[in-house]
Amino acid sequence: MSGKTFVRSEDVSTQVFDWGTIKWMTRPDVTGSERFSAGIVNLDPGSGHELHTHPDSDELLFVISGTGEQVVGDETREIGPGELVYVPENVEHGTMNTGWVPLQLLAVYAPAGPEEVLADLPDCEIVPPGEIPSRSG
Residue 25 lies in a domain: yes
Overall average pLDDT of the 37-66 stretch:
96
Residue 132 lies in a domain: no
SS3 state of residue 90:
coil
pTM: 0.93
Domain range spanning residue 33? 12-127
**What is the domain-level CATH number for residue 49?**
2.60.120.10
For the chain, what is the domain count? 1
Burial class (CB in 10 A: 0-12, 13-18, 19+), 116: middle
Residue 65 lies in a domain: yes
The dihedral built from the CA positions of residue 38, 73, 96 and 65, taken in this order, carries a sign that is negative
Residue 70 lies in a domain: yes
Residue 137 lies in a domain: no
pLDDT digits (tens, 9 = 90+) for 55-109: 999 999 999 999 999 999 999 999 999 999 999 999 999 999 999 999 999 999 9
